[in-house]
Amino acid sequence: MARIGIYGATGYTGFELIKLLVRRPEIEIAFATARSAVGKRLSDIFPTLIDLPLVGVEQADLHNVDLIFTCLPHNTPDLIPLVQAAMDAGVKVIDFSDTFRLEDLDTYARWRTKDHPAPELQSVAVYGLPELHRERIRKAHLVANTGCYPLTAILPLRPLAQAGLLTDSPVIVDSKSGVSGAGRSLSLKTHFGEAHETFSAYTIGRTHRHLPEMEQETGLHIIFSPHLLPVYRGILSTIYVNTKPAVSEDDVRGAYAVYANEPFVTLLPQGRLPELRHVVGSMNIAIGVHRVEEGHYILVACVDNLIKGASGQAVQSMNLMLGMEETAGLR
Amino acid sequence: MARIGIYGATGYTGFELIKLLVRRPEIEIAFATARSAVGKRLSDIFPTLIDLPLVGVEQADLHNVDLIFTCLPHNTPDLIPLVQAAMDAGVKVIDFSDTFRLEDLDTYARWRTKDHPAPELQSVAVYGLPELHRERIRKAHLVANTGCYPLTAILPLRPLAQAGLLTDSPVIVDSKSGVSGAGRSLSLKTHFGEAHETFSAYTIGRTHRHLPEMEQETGLHIIFSPHLLPVYRGILSTIYVNTKPAVSEDDVRGAYAVYANEPFVTLLPQGRLPELRHVVGSMNIAIGVHRVEEGHYILVACVDNLIKGASGQAVQSMNLMLGMEETAGLR
Amino acid sequence: MARIGIYGATGYTGFELIKLLVRRPEIEIAFATARSAVGKRLSDIFPTLIDLPLVGVEQADLHNVDLIFTCLPHNTPDLIPLVQAAMDAGVKVIDFSDTFRLEDLDTYARWRTKDHPAPELQSVAVYGLPELHRERIRKAHLVANTGCYPLTAILPLRPLAQAGLLTDSPVIVDSKSGVSGAGRSLSLKTHFGEAHETFSAYTIGRTHRHLPEMEQETGLHIIFSPHLLPVYRGILSTIYVNTKPAVSEDDVRGAYAVYANEPFVTLLPQGRLPELRHVVGSMNIAIGVHRVEEGHYILVACVDNLIKGASGQAVQSMNLMLGMEETAGLR
Amino acid sequence: MARIGIYGATGYTGFELIKLLVRRPEIEIAFATARSAVGKRLSDIFPTLIDLPLVGVEQADLHNVDLIFTCLPHNTPDLIPLVQAAMDAGVKVIDFSDTFRLEDLDTYARWRTKDHPAPELQSVAVYGLPELHRERIRKAHLVANTGCYPLTAILPLRPLAQAGLLTDSPVIVDSKSGVSGAGRSLSLKTHFGEAHETFSAYTIGRTHRHLPEMEQETGLHIIFSPHLLPVYRGILSTIYVNTKPAVSEDDVRGAYAVYANEPFVTLLPQGRLPELRHVVGSMNIAIGVHRVEEGHYILVACVDNLIKGASGQAVQSMNLMLGMEETAGLR
């Protein structure tokens, strides 16, 4: 039996996390906080079989809690104190923000244009991608859950980079994400009339704050163009890579053998490309590989941004951190 | 040449109004106000061929202006002073809010649970439905533009009520509206993640604030259930009426002869029902009539809520008020 | 361990059924047929973790099979022989078509304008709505899975009808369904360009083929207007009833006590109405009750048409027929 | 007064064409053909103010007709005879298919894997892109209307290629199109349940049949990835180019001066990117330019695929061919 606390239960990732946890008898949700809904119950917001009281941060009792998830909006001022308090109390932490994802403090400072707010916490944080850092996650006390966009670039690119198949020219990652990636906070960009039945690019090139994660985990130089899709869930990334001379399609496909035993990574057979509907609602990341011509390949990767791209990924890390079956509750 | 002022140019109805006006060489837009965008240009918000400077309310110069449109959110505090100032300056007014739509001050007070803020303005206001009040609109100085939901109930029901074909039992108006009807102001209800790929009923029965308009213009007792459709534009209302004994389908269809010369009302032939896509982008209201069985009929009516349901309707009234061709700029 | 056969595995209900069954270790899928995809595997059509070979009807081996699901399009000519062969072989059958739903052969003949094709099968068929016919389903050899629209009318209306609270005037059921209800067969009506970003009513009044089911199970006279929503899943029905004099809101809400122990029926508290997103992806039917005024109530009911409205409902019946826990695999 | 004939009036491009033509008093539609709807009227299919009788191809009378539009599905067998007959009768032709777009017969044979069906017609055909071939279109008797995808690559890329700013490395065109681009013919790919709330890539790399048009008109080597967006209208292309050393952002932006007087091409100011909703419903192509880093630029281009990408483009060519104002009926 594990006791879990959730900070930020009424955002999209918090709610998805609860849906994944309530079906597991071995998990008890010790508390769920929601700043704007203190005193209400989850059923007041979403009237289903899932129900929980919602409390304020100050009412969250860490006593006897094994692990907390912090699913708070970027730049929540009390994030660092919350994480520090949990760590001090011996409670493990999985944080959904991008605060603890960059190992190099200089990279952090350059991209965020400010110093890291908690270097000592950063020094013990592990990047929460089990396919790459499984053993470190098992032992971690603080895991930085991956960004949803980065996941769709890192998992397809890392094996090719590791195998030394790519040239030095920039890799192009053209990503398209459903609107839930922008969260439940109100903004004109995510207002129905502005996001529906349209399509747009934003923070393209080398301006998106999650680009450095991609580069950290792949060692590649990346040009990244996110786009906003008029769907609720899912990310599809179309990735353009240049391979070194004499690299064959077998070399490229062969590099993905590293994922042969991964429960949630599916390499599609030659000639097939993944679509959002193949993965939405599941933990799968599906990857298709297309040879364009000598030296040029296209990779297409799809995930459900709220599951493998966020809350499911966090549960996978939690399972590792608490010594449970890695895939428990995720099939 | 007519000079026009627009208050609230960056909401959905204001923007639609501008699109309808800029194509007309005989119309000059004297000013366009936008509280949140003073000092910008319309092209900063929507980069197209349409462009205008955006000013604050206090910079709006009524001198030499013939008519103003007030496209402001409900309960804008300065609406009454704006309307009063224009009337005092001899400028005609078409107001998009529901402030001036109810002729009876007691009905207003009962439904709004407060007294009417400007009874003397109300006494000269005309309900802006040209099909019913064409001659009064021609002479009006203050027109209350109709609500979009009410339009879809009033135009199908009025001829049957006027012809005395209906019993006393309540009429049921089951309406489904695109999200643009809720405007451009942010709200959780119109956040993409809450309004997309779902469907819901709200303020059903006898609780929606635009129900009394429907009853005023039809003389009927109405049960009204609005629903939020996951589309941007359009309203479809399915209306259930009970007819008196011996009323035939010919009687029902015949009642619509009053619209024979109406440019924007289309009665579909027997066996056809209108769909949203038939009217979206146009000024048409399309009406289908289905006989269920003796005494029971269903009416289905569709409009584009932003055009015939709002800005196009307002332009139709403007054309009448300024002595222009009624259909100018609306085909 | 139960062995199951599926006819029509690549339609939307067949595929949903497979998703519900594959997660259950105690269920073995003996065969899955797909006319248009014989010789392929399910992963050729939908590349996920779920995989099965697809065979032709003639390759389906009933030997040692406990139960079959027939998820075939309406009017499939070989449905009756398939069902008969299974029954003869002692295999239980759950049929998704509307062939066996009407107990009265005259009603069938009048609505289908032809005689019932298999009266002797009809005589042993049970209408597959566990909330109403649980004990009969347990013993049934042939279950007629309910229609998705009828479900949303029968479950809210039956308790009020049984309690004698309603007058004789027609009940109005205004229903809105996602496009998946029309199946995977190609048609102009379900072509993206004709069904997307629009909304329409069809076969309204007393013309839809699933109306007689509603009347059979409720004993009421119903006017039924289905509409096509531009979403994939879900049905919301807005139902207008007239109550007898002196019937109170407590009487109406109290009638739903019959569902107190039902695992999949949720009556919302006063003031709350269900939305599609509350039920999509789940087995729940959520019902909201709104008192309009003396004698007039509105019921709003929502289901996922592919789960509680089709494949989940069938699994619930299967669980009963095979002596399993009724809710197994459906939470 | 010009008399016009339309072959294929009930497809999406045919219908859009009719909407553009009926509002022009100087245009008379002499006939409209529709194979599947002979004997019906356009209002039987779409009940609006627009109405026309629909005839079979054999009833189309070319007498006194000035110009025909052939809006027929790819590979319609009678396209060549229809075009030939019109040319023989002295009637000008604008063809919507991709039959006459490739000037080089060898390129045609290689991409279509068959010889050109009418080389003599090809030899007089002009590629229908007014921004590039205005004077040739004026004098043309046969115009090959551009593909919708190619338009979004050619117009942004041509000025940079012409100015010699680009290196030899492949240009990447990552395009996303609404479903209407696939036409009104039924297919599983465009079935609502398969195209809605999802997103997919298809015929990526160097396999799409409209890639050679792009290369013909730009002289560049292109990698092209089309994707299917779950919207009805609009194409957004994200284009990745490599510039030669010492090419500055001013050089890049300056190259677009060639479009300074183009009525339908809008270059957005620095820092702005176009979105689908900016152009849907209009003739505009909007182009945004983003400098990534030395040597790397991203171009983003948007059009309405049915207007500037198809029927509006054809009307622009028609205006030129018939000596009318080029922008008539297109603002």
Smallest CA–CA distance, residue C181 to chain D, in Å, is 10
Q: Which helix (H) or strand (E) holds B292?
A: strand B285-293
Candidate from B12, B180, B193 with C-beta closest to A232: B193
* Contact criterion met (CB < 8 Å) for C192 and D195: yes
* Contact criterion met (CB < 8 Å) for C293 and B204: no
Which pLDDT band holds residue C45 (cuts at 50, 70, 90)?
A: confident
Rg from Cα positions in chain D: 20
Instruction: Give, to the nearest 10 degrees, the angle between helix C12-22 and helix C312-321.
Output: 50
Q: What is the CATH T-level fold of the domain B148-305, as seen in this structure?
A: Dihydrodipicolinate Reductase; domain 2 (3.30.360)
Dig out the tokens for C294 from the structure.
């003396």
Average pLDDT, chain C: 96
**Closest-CA residue in chain A for B188?**
A186
Which is nearest to D250 in space by CA: D163, D146, D145, D121? D163
β-sheet with B200-201: strand ranges across:
B200-201, B222-228, B171-177, B235-242, B296-303, B285-293, B265-267
* Contact criterion met (CB < 8 Å) for A230 and D227: no
Beta bridge partners of B287: B267, B301
Q: How far apart are CA D79 and CA D83, in angstroms?
A: 6
Tell me the average pLDDT across A76-98. Answer: 96
Q: What is the pLDDT of residues A169-183, one digit of tens each?
A: 999 999 999 999 999
Dig out the tokens for D13 from the structure.
């491009």
Q: How far apart are CA A37 and CA A35, in angstroms?
A: 6
Residues in chain A whose beta carbon is closer than 8 A to a beta carbon of chain C?
A: 23, 46-49, 197, 266, 268, 272, 274, 278-279, 281-282, 284, 286, 331
CA B159 from chain center: how many Å? Answer: 19
- Total Cβ atoms within 10 A of residue D12: 22
- Choose the mutation target among B177, B191, B198 for the interface with A, i.e. most A CBs under 10 Å: B191
According to DSSP, residue C230 is labeled S
Amino acid letter at A272? R
| Local structure of C316: helix, strand or coil | helix
- Choose the mutation target among C13, C185, C192 for the interface with D, i.e. most D CBs under 10 Å: C192
CATH code of D2-145+309-321, in short, is 3.40.50.720
Q: What is the pLDDT of residues A291-305, one digit of tens each?
A: 999 999 999 999 999
* Contact criterion met (CB < 8 Å) for B282 and D23: no
Q: Are strands A142-145 and A125-128 parallel, antiparallel or unpaired?
A: parallel
Backbone angles phi, psi at B213, to 5 degrees: -60, -45
Candidate from A179, A192, A231 with C-beta closest to B179: A192
Smallest CA–CA distance, residue A196 to chain B, in Å, is 7
| Local structure of D279: helix, strand or coil | helix
* Contact criterion met (CB < 8 Å) for D229 and A199: yes
According to DSSP, residue C129 is labeled -
Contact B267, B259 (CB under 8 A): yes
Residues of chain D neighbouring C197 (CB-CB closer than 8 A): 231-232
Place of tokens 């019932």: C116
Smallest CA–CA distance, residue A15 to chain B, in Å, is 13
* Contact criterion met (CB < 8 Å) for D275 and A200: yes
Task: Kindly list the partner chains of chain C, i.e. chains with 3 or more CB atom pairs below 8 Å.
Answer: A, B, D
Q: What is the CATH T-level fold of the domain D148-307, as seen in this structure?
A: Dihydrodipicolinate Reductase; domain 2 (3.30.360)
Q: What is the pLDDT of residues A236-287, one digit of tens each?
A: 999 999 999 999 999 999 999 999 999 999 999 999 999 999 999 999 999 9
* Contact criterion met (CB < 8 Å) for C232 and D195: no
Burial category of B297 from C-beta neighbours within 10 Å (exposed 0-12, middle 13-18, buried 19 and up): buried
Smallest CA–CA distance, residue D237 to chain C, in Å, is 21
Q: What is the CATH T-level fold of the domain A2-146+309-321, as seen in this structure?
A: Rossmann fold (3.40.50)
Q: What is the pLDDT of residues C209-261, one digit of tens each?
A: 999 999 999 999 999 999 999 999 999 999 999 999 999 999 999 999 999 99
Candidate from A198, A276, A298 with C-beta closest to D199: A276
* Contact criterion met (CB < 8 Å) for C49 and A284: yes
Q: Is the complex ipTM more than 0.90?
A: yes
* Contact criterion met (CB < 8 Å) for D192 and C187: no
Average pLDDT, chain A: 96
Q: Consecutive sets of 10 residues in chain D, 331 residues long: mean pLDDT of each?
A: 96 94 94 92 81 93 97 89 97 97 98 96 98 98 97 98 98 97 92 96 97 98 98 98 98 98 96 95 96 98 97 98 97 85
Smallest CA–CA distance, residue B131 to chain A, in Å, is 30
pLDDT of C48 reads 67
CA C13 from chain center: how many Å? Answer: 10
Q: How far apart are CA C120 and CA C100, in angstroms?
A: 10
- Choose the mutation target among B152, B199, B277, B300 for the interface with C, i.e. most C CBs under 10 Å: B199
**Closest-CA residue in chain A for D199?**
A276
Report the catalytic residues of B.
148
| Local structure of C110: helix, strand or coil | helix
D74 Cβ partners below 8 Å, 6+ apart? D97, D98
Q: What is the pLDDT of residues C275-299, one digit of tens each?
A: 999 999 999 999 999 999 999 999 9
Which pLDDT band holds residue C110 (cuts at 50, 70, 90)?
A: very high
Amino acid letter at A124? V
* Contact criterion met (CB < 8 Å) for D186 and C184: no
Candidate from C23, C48, C272 with C-beta closest to A47: C272
Report the catalytic residues of A.
148
Smallest CA–CA distance, residue D53 to chain C, in Å, is 21
Question: Which of A223-227, C44-48, C188-192 comes out lowest in average pLDDT?
Answer: C44-48
Which is nearest to D133 in space by CA: D266, D268, D310, D321? D321
Which pLDDT band holds residue C272 (cuts at 50, 70, 90)?
A: very high
pLDDT value at C49 more than 70: no
A297 Cβ partners below 8 Å, 6+ apart? A240, A241, A243, A249, A252, A289, A290, A291
Q: How far apart are CA B200 and CA B230, in angstroms?
A: 9
Q: How far apart are CA A158 and CA A214, in angstroms?
A: 9
**Closest-CA residue in chain B for C241?**
B172
B157 Cβ partners below 8 Å, 6+ apart? B171, B214, B218, B220, B239, B241, B299
Q: How far apart are CA A4 and CA A52, in angstroms?
A: 13
Parse chain A into domains and list their residue ranges: 2-146+309-321, 148-305
- Total Cβ atoms within 10 A of residue C114: 8
Is the torsion defined by CA of C112, C113, C116, C117 positive or negative? Answer: negative
Which pLDDT band holds residue A331 (cuts at 50, 70, 90)?
A: confident
- Choose the mutation target among A15, A187, A192 for the interface with B, i.e. most B CBs under 10 Å: A192
β-sheet with C67-70: strand ranges across:
C27-33, C2-7, C67-70, C92-95, C142-145, C125-128
Residues in chain A whose beta carbon is closer than 8 A to a beta carbon of chain D?
A: 169-170, 172, 174, 176, 194, 197-202, 204-206, 223, 225, 227, 229-232, 234, 236, 238, 240, 273-277, 280, 290-293, 296, 298, 300
Contact D60, D83 (CB under 8 A): no
* Contact criterion met (CB < 8 Å) for A192 and B190: yes
- Choose the mutation target among B189, B192, B198, B273 for the interface with C, i.e. most C CBs under 10 Å: B198
Contact A315, A326 (CB under 8 A): no
Candidate from B197, B206, B229 with C-beta closest to C199: B229
Smallest CA–CA distance, residue A63 to chain C, in Å, is 31
For chain B, residues with pLDDT lower than 70 are: 48-49
Beta bridge partners of D55: D33
* Contact criterion met (CB < 8 Å) for B292 and C206: yes
Contact C201, B300 (CB under 8 A): yes
pLDDT of B49 reads 60
* Contact criterion met (CB < 8 Å) for A273 and D202: yes
Q: What is the pLDDT of residues B257-293, one digit of tens each?
A: 999 999 999 999 999 999 999 999 999 999 999 999 9
Tell me the average pLDDT across A114-118. Answer: 96
Smallest CA–CA distance, residue B289 to chain A, in Å, is 31
Give the CA-trace dihedral at D220, D224, D229, D234, to 10 degrees: 20
Dig out the tokens for C223 from the structure.
């006017």
* Contact criterion met (CB < 8 Å) for B47 and D286: yes
Smallest CA–CA distance, residue D38 to chain C, in Å, is 17
Q: Out of C20, C83, C129, C148, which one is annotated catalytic?
A: C148
Q: How far apart are CA A299 and CA A301, in angstroms?
A: 7
According to DSSP, residue D232 is labeled S
Residues of chain A neighbouring B10 (CB-CB closer than 8 A): none
Q: How far apart are CA C120 and CA A199, in angstroms?
A: 57
Q: What is the pTM of this model?
A: 0.97
Amino acid letter at A279? V
Residues in chain B whose beta carbon is closer than 8 A to a beta carbon of chain C?
A: 169-170, 172, 174, 176, 194, 197-202, 204-206, 223, 225, 227, 229-232, 234, 236, 238, 240, 273-277, 280, 290-293, 296, 298, 300
Candidate from A23, A47, A278 with C-beta closest to C48: A278
**Cα A329 to Cα A303, A319, B114, distances in angstroms:** 18, 9, 55
Which is nearest to C243 in space by CA: C285, C203, C198, C299? C299
**Closest-CA residue in chain A for D273?**
A201
According to DSSP, residue D275 is labeled B
C183 Cβ partners below 8 Å, 6+ apart? C11, C12, C13, C73, C190
Beta bridge partners of B53: B41
